[in-house]
Structure 1
């Protein structure tokens, strides 16, 4: 079976469950497999625009956040953590790597020398500006399989599911 033939793969899983546990409805598992495969393929597709520049997803997230959200004096690491998908402990490591490449710089805050701000350097800004158009074109290509209405519906459903999953789990789900 071709690994990229997801419908055939899902049908095989459905048939296997029908043999082993005919009373079981595997639909939730099959949708999770589908979404997992979509996540993997989508991540690979999105990375195409910045991987050639030796930028990983977390670095791209940090660079694009500085580009779009930072005032001229930059953002603190805490602010960056709040505006990106990068966790606090990883933020220092990510900043250090971009600092080593000359794409960002740290500046002491004039108001509080204990506080630092992170800002894009000229090469960092040039890199983002060079990757931005291909990144957006890639996003348009990814979504081109859907109509504008379907894109809106996908966004609505994704946000609804995220809101549900980001709320506390009921006890019966966490019980082992």
Structure 2
């Protein structure tokens, strides 16, 4: 298995061709950063596509699943205010409102007034929403495992640590 992974790593990819083109066009430039960022971007597109496909099979998009999963992992009673959802999703309040509207129309979440702040609204998973996220989670994890299967567990841990180091260095340190 490891030999196959090493052989795949030795194979050329599209980014190698791009780097070669830059080496011919601008040989004085170090294209190493272009190669790494290019591979990260290309792989991210493949991951996004695989996640979209999985969730679409179940009538959701990835942003809707993100809201459901955020509420589920919040623990009972599986509810958060808009600020809590925003902090987790890193999108605009309008985007959260649209996601919650779609999920509410599907009967997967409900809005309810906050007892301690009458201006605030809480978003809560319905029993159907909880059942759906619980049913989808094992397949989602299998899908992600499949996407990482070219790396053994040690390589996955190394990549995870390196990506975390980059994220922290660029300010992604806000805690949920």
Gaps spanning 5+ residues in structure 2: where? 1-10
CA offsets per residue over residues 32-72 of structure 1, 9 Å max, x none? 11111010011112233211122112111100111111431
State the match for 2:112 in structure 1.
107
State the match for 2:51 in structure 1.
46
Q: Distance in 2 between matches of 1:85 and 1:47?
A: 18
State the match for 1:17 in structure 2.
22
The number of equivalent residue pairs is 162
CA offsets per residue over residues 122-169 of structure 1, 9 Å max, x none? 2211211221111111122222221211111111000011112237xx
- 1:58–1:86 CA contact under 8 A, matched in 2: no
State the match for 1:139 in structure 2.
144
1:76 is aligned to 2:81: yes
1:165 is aligned to 2:158: no
CA offsets per residue over residues 85-108 of structure 1, 9 Å max, x none? 433231111111111111100011
Q: Distance in 2 between matches of 1:73 and 1:101?
A: 17
Residue aligned with 1:153, SS:
helix
- 1:74–1:119 CA contact under 8 A, matched in 2: yes
TM-score by length of 1: 0.83
Q: Distance in 2 between matches of 1:128 and 1:11?
A: 39
TM-score by length of 2: 0.83
Gaps spanning 5+ residues in structure 1: where? 1-5, 168-176
Q: Distance in 2 between matches of 1:68 and 1:20?
A: 50
**Backbone CA RMSD of aligned residues:** 1.9
- 2:16–2:35 CA contact under 8 A, matched in 1: no
